[in-house]
Amino acid sequence: MKTTLTMHQPIMPDKPKSQSADNEPKDYTVPTLRMTPEAMKKLNTLNSDEKKDDNKPALPAHIEALVEQRKKIKEQIKEQKERLEQLKARDDLDKEIKAALLKQQSDTLMQLQIQLMGITQSLQEALKESGISDMGLLADILV
């Protein structure tokens, strides 16, 4: 549903700019209608929300759940990579302890990446089974 704002106001001259010899105004100024910045911001937000809703068809619940799981795992992978980099940068640990911690953190990262691949594969199969073939939507979901 798209909303269109229209304002109806008769165009009335504010003041004549100049008058001819027979006292008829020559030029009129047209009143300018202005919206407050808050109203413009709200209107832009409403329009952008409508565009998003129009372009994105509703997905089945099981596909939405897979997309959400995939996002969570991607975030966990990002956090795990940061932890691994922080651990690599530490110089205060014994070499053996640091090596063991690095192996443990690397294994955790590898498990998360395997989970991501599994969910991505499940998501692809679910999309195929549901018959979704919109390339734009598929790209949004799988990227």
Mean pLDDT of 121-125: 89
Res 39: pLDDT:
74
pLDDT beyond 60 at 67: yes
Show Cβ contacts of residue 93 under 8 Å, excluding neighbours closer than 6 positions: 101
What is each CA distance from 55 to 49, 52, 59, 112, 142, in whole angstroms? Answer: 10, 5, 12, 32, 17
| Reduced DSSP (H G I as helix, E B as strand, rest coil) percent helix, strand, coil of the chain, to 5 | 65, 0, 35
Q: What percent of the chain has pLDDT over 70?
A: 69
Rounded to whole angstroms, how far apart are CA atoms 5 and 41?
Answer: 14
CA distance 30 to 44: 26
CA distance 28 to 12: 8
Estimate to the nearest angstrom the gap between the alpha carbon of 98 and the chain centroid: 39
Question: Is 70 exceeded by the pLDDT of residue 92?
Answer: yes
Whole-prediction pTM value?
0.56
